[in-house]
């Protein structure tokens, strides 16, 4: 009989089968993440926090999968392993297809983390658990059946598949298939994966190599540890701590990017893809990670990022590139040091379990711990300090391994410098945070982001005002003197698109009370347009925003005192409006303002074809839908024009200038209406603007497809 691991044709076929199964499993594991995220985002408000909670779920179930693989590979005989795993695979097929039940839609506006985790567990929990266990379990089988071959290269291969899955989704799958079609395609491919995995389990059951012990013999060029290495307690601690730092920085970087642009698959995939590249390189071979070079480059990127946060602002491309470079070098150092401490193959599943525990720990600290412990987004800054500490650790390791005296002195100097940089970064970031706290009356944070109420304006009472800041974006201001308190401020001045719509709608001109819908509360500034008898309904997803608008600003109370019928409805605007229609309660709005921003990002599900269809069912004849498109990074005008073209209605741009004396900011609104009389009115005509000659082609977003690439302002 031919022996496995001897270069025979049977050996080659077996290796190919292992490689194909591990590759396909890793591809499915990471492609399901953006796919299921597309389902989850519209149900839970479309904020960056939704993706952070989803990432936490993925890391927790990855940990459970690795724990399962470790228990099965360590405590069960090869034949029992095969029987158990085939049973698990069969059970997971009952969860297909991976389409969330409508019964899992949230009902209220409470913290949705529990709801997100429950939805994901019930929808993809079982298949995701099996896919998570696939890599380490099959690698342990491979090491047993192929003595002398490195299973760590299969780990690198799995990360290549993960990377391909991440970037193929936004670049091809997302646009090539409808969302339901994507779910069915994934489910069918998973069934094929289960068959391949069962074939390998059956080979394990037949016991062709059941008596072959797992060897620790290294293979030239592979990332394999020397057989004589002794695993110490501090090695095991670093198996957890190093991936925890990298994982925490991954989530912190993702939040940092998506809270100011948009929480979409492309921006999820970019940092996660870079994170996976560091796994691929470090686990493929020792030659990819040269400690001194990467540690120094990490310190450089950390310093540049610190100055960027301190006020040296860059363009979109430059800021994203700097964040990604920082994450890359930190990932390379963390994972490079992790691989340098890897154990022999006998402890392979324990090693992967510890690595997964570290990833879950880092993700949990950012997704669950940070919102509770911090009032603002501080985890990214803490990650920078932790990254500098990791660089100093890496350099100290190089110092300990160097024998030449001149080189030792050099590394001792560089290590000391790294420790100094660590301290300096911490001091700079603390100073920035302290300066940002000047005049702060309230600073709070929840699932939907960080909120801050400031008092600005100095000693002059006529300049003193309160302002609400969400992330880095102003969400409303109010002057404090009684005669100025009902001014139309910030993005809602008299000459803004929404101001023109509310002041000069034909119903207002005819003296009839207005029926107004307002998606996004902010400080409640738009309530200043409501008069006696007017009907106003704010839709707000974040209960903390309602508390702030009530406790620190007077707009809502003033409107009610003036006789307006005003109510704030908590929950995602689209879901609440859908339920109103299902209950037979169309609102018959004369004007609907769509102004739901999360920092500077857009909840995309509020700007799709399906969303506009819901809005129009709530409109009175001749109604005006005013959509706020002011944005630093995205050209949302193209999206709104695409919606208008699809519905056959007019999309009219209205842009107003700053008026600092009255606290008015420049803004851009688009008015969607078929009311020609309103657009032709003498008081409306002067406010209307022409679309720029170089305006982008219209882009139609739907629930199945929303292309961020088509509307990004790169410079």
- Reported as a pLDDT band with limits 50, 70 and 90, residue 402 is low
92 compared with 307, residue with greater pLDDT:
92
Would you state the pLDDT for residue 390? 84
Would you state the pLDDT for residue 210? 42
Would you state the pLDDT for residue 6? 44
Pairing of strands 667-673, 589-594: unpaired
Would you state the pLDDT for residue 226? 42
- Reported as a pLDDT band with limits 50, 70 and 90, residue 418 is low
Please check whether residue 664 is in contact with residue 489, taking contact to mean a CB–CB distance below 8 angstroms. Answer: yes
Report residue 528 as tokens.
């200043």
* For residue 699, pLDDT beyond 70: yes
Would you state the pLDDT for residue 703? 87
Mean pLDDT calculated for residue range 609-637: 92
Residues 236-259: tens digit of each pLDDT = 888 999 999 999 999 888 887 776
Would you state the pLDDT for residue 417? 56
Mean pLDDT calculated for residue range 105-126: 83
Report residue 626 as tokens.
């005013």
Would you state the pLDDT for residue 214? 46
Residues 625-661: tens digit of each pLDDT = 999 998 877 889 999 999 999 999 999 999 999 988 8
Mean pLDDT calculated for residue range 385-401: 76
Pairing of strands 589-594, 565-570: unpaired
pLDDT, averaged across the chain: 83
663 compared with 215, residue with greater pLDDT:
663
In order of 77, 534, 537, 645, 651, the CA distances from 590 in angstroms are 71, 11, 12, 21, 17
Please tell me the distance from the alpha carbon of residue 225 to that of residue 220, in angstroms, as a whole number.
Answer: 11
Would you state the pLDDT for residue 715? 63
Would you state the pLDDT for residue 230? 54
Residues 658-683: tens digit of each pLDDT = 988 898 999 999 999 999 999 999 99
288 compared with 428, residue with greater pLDDT:
288
- Reported as a pLDDT band with limits 50, 70 and 90, residue 208 is very low
* For residue 209, pLDDT beyond 70: no
DSSP H/E element including 446:
strand 440-446
Would you state the pLDDT for residue 429? 54
Angle between helix 9-43 and 48-75 (nearest 10): 150
Which range is least confidently modeled, 77-81, 196-200, 239-243, 403-407?
A: 403-407
Read out DSSP for 46-112?
A: S-HHHHHHHHHHHHHHHHHHHHHHHHHHHHS-HHHHHHHHHHHHHHHGGG-S----GGGS--SSS--
Pairing of strands 440-446, 449-456: antiparallel
Q: Rounded to 5, what percent of the chain is helix, strand, coil?
A: 60, 10, 30
Residues 18-59: tens digit of each pLDDT = 889 999 999 999 899 889 988 888 888 766 678 778 888 888
The top-scoring range by mean pLDDT among 3-17, 149-163, 359-373 is 359-373
Mean pLDDT calculated for residue range 128-132: 94
CB atoms within 10 A of CB 688: 15
Percent of the chain with pLDDT over 70: 83
* For residue 426, pLDDT beyond 60: no
DSSP H/E element including 308:
helix 291-309
Angle between helix 48-75 and 348-364 (nearest 10): 160
Structural domains of the chain, with CATH:
1-215 (1.20.1250), 228-347+363-436 (no CATH), 489-687 (3.40.50.150)
367 compared with 667, residue with greater pLDDT:
667
Please tell me the distance from the alpha carbon of residue 373 to that of residue 367, in angstroms, as a whole number.
Answer: 11
* For residue 130, pLDDT beyond 70: yes
404 compared with 164, residue with greater pLDDT:
164
Residues 479-536: tens digit of each pLDDT = 999 989 999 999 999 999 999 999 999 999 888 999 999 999 999 999 999 999 999 9
Mean pLDDT calculated for residue range 417-426: 57
Task: Return the CA Rg of the chain.
Answer: 28
* For residue 327, pLDDT beyond 90: yes
Mean pLDDT calculated for residue range 356-367: 86
Paired with 465 in beta bridges are: 456, 479
In order of 396, 406, 407, 409, the CA distances from 402 in angstroms are 10, 10, 7, 10
Please tell me the distance from the alpha carbon of residue 452 to that of residue 445, in angstroms, as a whole number.
Answer: 9
* For residue 261, pLDDT beyond 60: no
555 compared with 145, residue with greater pLDDT:
555
- Reported as a pLDDT band with limits 50, 70 and 90, residue 211 is very low
Would you state the pLDDT for residue 231? 57
Give φ, ψ of 681 to 5 degrees.
-65, 145
* For residue 303, pLDDT beyond 50: yes
Would you state the pLDDT for residue 290? 87
Residues 67-114: tens digit of each pLDDT = 998 899 888 888 899 899 999 999 999 999 999 988 888 776 566 888
C-alpha dihedral sign at 386, 388, 390, 393? negative
SS3 label, residue 673: strand
* For residue 375, pLDDT beyond 90: no
């Amino acid at each position: 009989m031919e022996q496995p691991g001897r270069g025979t044709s049977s050996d080659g076929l077996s290796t190919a089968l292992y490689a194909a199964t591990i590759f396909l499993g890793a591809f499915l594991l990471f492609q399901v993440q953006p796919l299921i995220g597309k389902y989850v985002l519209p149900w839970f408000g479309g904020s960056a926090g939704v993706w952070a909670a989803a990432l936490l779920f993925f890391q927790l179930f990855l940990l459970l999968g690795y724990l399962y693989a470790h228990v099965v590979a360590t405590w069960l005989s090869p034949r029992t392993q095969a029987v158990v795993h085939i049973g698990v695979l069969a059970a997971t097929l009952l969860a297909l297809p991976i389409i969330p039940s409508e019964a899992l839609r949230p009902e209220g506006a409470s913290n949705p983390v529990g709801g997100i985790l429950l939805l994901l567990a019930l929808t993809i929990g079982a298949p995701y658990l099996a896919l998570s266990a696939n890599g380490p379990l099959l690698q342990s089988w491979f090491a047993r059946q192929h003595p002398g071959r490195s299973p760590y290269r299969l780990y690198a291969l799995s990360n290549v598949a993960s990377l391909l899955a991440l970037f193929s989704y936004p670049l091809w799958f997302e646009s090539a298939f409808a969302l339901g079609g994507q779910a069915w395609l994934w489910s069918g491919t998973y069934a094929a994966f289960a068959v391949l995995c069962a074939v390998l389990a059956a080979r394990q059951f037949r016991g062709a190599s059941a008596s072959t012990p797992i060897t620790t013999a290294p293979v030239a060029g592979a990332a394999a540890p020397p057989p004589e290495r002794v695993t110490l307690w501090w090695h095991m601690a670093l198996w957890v701590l190093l991936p925890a730092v990298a994982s925490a920085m991954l989530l912190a970087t993702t939040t940092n990017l998506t809270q100011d642009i948009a929480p979409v698959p492309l921006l999820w995939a970019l940092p996660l893809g870079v994170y996976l590249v560091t796994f691929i390189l470090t686990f493929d071979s020792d030659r990819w990670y040269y400690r001194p070079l990467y540690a120094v480059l990490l310190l450089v990127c950390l310093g540049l990022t610190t100055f960027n946060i301190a006020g040296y602002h860059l363009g979109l491309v430059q800021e994203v590139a700097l964040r990604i470079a920082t994450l890359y070098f930190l990932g390379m150092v963390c994972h490079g040091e992790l691989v340098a401490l890897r154990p022999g193959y006998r402890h392979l599943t324990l090693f992967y379990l510890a690595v997964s525990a570290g990833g879950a720990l880092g993700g949990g600290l950012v997704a669950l711990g940070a919102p509770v412990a911090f009032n603002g987004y501080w985890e990214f800054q803490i990650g920078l300090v932790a990254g500098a500490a990791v660089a100093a650790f890496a350099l100290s390791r190089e110092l300990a391994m160097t024998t030449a005296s001149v080189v030792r002195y050099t590394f001792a100097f560089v290590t000391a410098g790294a420790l100094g940089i660590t301290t300096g970064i911490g001091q700079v970031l603390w100073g920035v945070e302290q300066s940002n706290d000047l005049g702060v009356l309230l600073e709070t944070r929840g699932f939907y982001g960080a909120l801050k109420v400031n008092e600005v304006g100095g000693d002059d009472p006529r300049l003193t005002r309160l302002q609400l800041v969400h992330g880095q974006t102003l969400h409303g201001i109010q002057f404090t003197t009684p005669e100025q308190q009902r001014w139309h401020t910030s993005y809602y001045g008299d000459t803004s698109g929404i101001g023109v719509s509310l002041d000069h709608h034909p119903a207002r001109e005819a003296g009839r009370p207005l029926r107004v819908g307002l998606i996004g509360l902010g400080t409640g500034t738009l309530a200043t347009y409501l008069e006696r008898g007017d009907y106003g309904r704010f839709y707000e997803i974040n209960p903390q925003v309602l508390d702030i608008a009530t406790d620190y600003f007077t707009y809502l109370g003033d409107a009610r005192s003036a006789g307006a019928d005003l109510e704030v409805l908590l929950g995602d605007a689209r879901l609440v409006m859908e339920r109103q229609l299902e209950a037979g309660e169309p609102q018959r709005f004369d004007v609907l303002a769509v102004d739901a921003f999360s920092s500077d990002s857009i909840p995309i599900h509020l700007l799709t074809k399906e969303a506009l269809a819901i809005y129009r069912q709530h409109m009175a004849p001749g109604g005006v839908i005013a959509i706020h498109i002011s944005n630093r990074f995205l050209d949302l005008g193209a999206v709104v024009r695409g919606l208008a073209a699809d519905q056959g209605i007019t999309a009219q741009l209205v842009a107003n200038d700053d008026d600092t004396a009255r606290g008015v900011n420049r803004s851009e609104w688009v008015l969607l209406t078929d009311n020609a009389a309103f657009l032709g009115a003498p008081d409306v005509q002067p406010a209307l603007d022409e679309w720029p000659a170089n305006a982008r082609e219209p882009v139609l977003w739907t629930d199945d497809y929303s292309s961020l690439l088509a509307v990004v302002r790169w410079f």
